[in-house]
Amino acid sequence: MIYRSNLLFLAFTSLAAVDVVDPATPRPRDLATAVTLNLTTSAAAPAVGDQVTVTVSWAWPTGWSVREPDVMADFAGEFVVEVPPAIRRTSGGLEYREQRLVLLARRSGAVNLPRPVLTATGPGGAVAVQAPAVLLTVGTGSATAALPAARPLVTGLSERAPLSPWWWLLALLLVPVGVVLWRLTHRRLQGPPPSPAEIAARELMAAARLTEGKALAGAAGLALRRFAGAVWGFDGPGMTAREAIAMVRGKAQVDEAAAYARMLEVIDGTRWAPDDMALAPLTAVVDEAKTWVERVTARLAAEAAVAKERP
């Protein structure tokens, strides 16, 4: 009786030690192979301008720590035109993910698609899988290109008649004629250079528009020195005010030289003036300079006309 009771106890203990496993749940020996990553495309040989749907799907056992592939970062170098929402689901002890991308085939040739990587860590360690290599052959289709017929081989070059010597002579005559015409046209388009009076008037007008006293004085003084140097033949811009006054005294009339010295002395005196100096005195000097330039120009023109009429 005791022996029979022991057998029943052992049988019951053996039955209690058996695990009931759901057939859909991966067993430990299958967990490593349950980490998968696939990449497929809707077309393998699209034409330039076609849209290609790329599907990236991956799975791993539920409860494992995982670093999912960053599909958007992997395909950042491709021309992505649409990104549908990702698909997420759990079934049979596995986590499933699916991400689709719509790419535009923008250039011809062979294109190797990016290969995302999935890393999952479970009881047996880390498992890393990479998407399979997918090659897109982008072209214009499988139809044979309609090429025109080949042109006949050019032969008989030595039989071509040589150019007449008159053509060479005509070409040699036309070259200098063309150069002369170009120079005349270019010179006519440019026009004569501006006179010293025109340059001074333009510079004095620009100086009058300045709102800072020292800048106005500097621009007006430079205009006066440049005009005097151009008229009487010395380097006005390269001289100081005193040097320019000395040069004008030996070349201009007495009243012209006195007015010139007075204007430059007023302008030169602004070097030690405060930054917020009044503009009224300088504006008066600019107006006087305009009148002085016109008067000197008119006198010199009249003297040149008289000298031209003399026998």
Q: Is 47 within the bounds of a domain?
A: yes
Same domain, 297 and 202: yes
Q: Indicate the helix (H) or strand (E) that contains 102.
A: strand 94-104
171 or 54: which carries more pLDDT confidence?
A: 54
Q: Supply the DSSP symbol for 43.
A: -
Q: Encoding tokens for residue 1?
A: 């009786």
Same domain, 39 and 125: yes
Which pLDDT score is estimated for 73?
Answer: 87
CATH of the domain at 111: 2.60.40
- The CA angle 80-84-86, to the nearest 5 degrees, is 115
Last residue of a domain, one of 86, 121, 137: 137
Query: Whole domain around residue 243: which residue ranges?
Result: 196-309
Q: Is 3 within the bounds of a domain?
A: no
Last residue of a domain, one of 137, 153, 187: 137
pLDDT band at 213 (very low <50, low <70, confident <90, very high): confident
| Cα–Cα dist 6/1, whole Å | 9
Which pLDDT score is estimated for 11?
Answer: 35
Residue 115 pLDDT exceeds 80: yes
Report CA-CA distances (Å) from 223 to 61, 200, 210, 218, 269: 88, 5, 14, 9, 17
Average pLDDT over residues 100-113: 82
Q: Is 21 within the bounds of a domain?
A: no
Q: Indicate the helix (H) or strand (E) that contains 16.
A: helix 2-16
The residue type of 250 is G
The residue type of 100 is R
Q: Encoding tokens for residue 72?
A: 């958007």
pLDDT band at 86 (very low <50, low <70, confident <90, very high): confident
Q: Is 99 within the bounds of a domain?
A: yes
Closest by Cα among 309, 138, 154, 299 to 232:
299
Residue 67 pLDDT exceeds 60: yes
| Cα–Cα dist 140/147, whole Å | 14
Same domain, 207 and 120: no
Percent of the chain clearing pLDDT 90 (strictly above) = 27
| Cα–Cα dist 244/238, whole Å | 9
Average pLDDT over residues 243-259: 92
Cβ–Cβ under 8 Å, residues 224 and 201? no
Q: Is 22 within the bounds of a domain?
A: no
pLDDT band at 148 (very low <50, low <70, confident <90, very high): low
For the chain, what is the domain count? Answer: 2
| Cα–Cα dist 277/115, whole Å | 74
Strand, helix or coil for residue 280: helix
Residue 183 pLDDT exceeds 90: no
pLDDT digits (tens, 9 = 90+) for 252-291: 999 999 999 999 998 888 877 787 778 888 888 899 999 9
256 or 49: which carries more pLDDT confidence?
A: 256
Closest by Cα among 60, 62, 70 to 37:
60
Task: Note the pTM of the prediction, 2 decimals.
Answer: 0.41
Q: Where are the alpha helices (DSSP H) in 123-269?
A: 165-190, 196-208, 213-232, 241-249, 254-268
Same domain, 49 and 122: yes
| Cα–Cα dist 245/263, whole Å | 10
Q: Report the number of secondary-structure helices (H) and strands (E) in the chain.
A: 8, 10
Which pLDDT score is estimated for 17?
Answer: 30
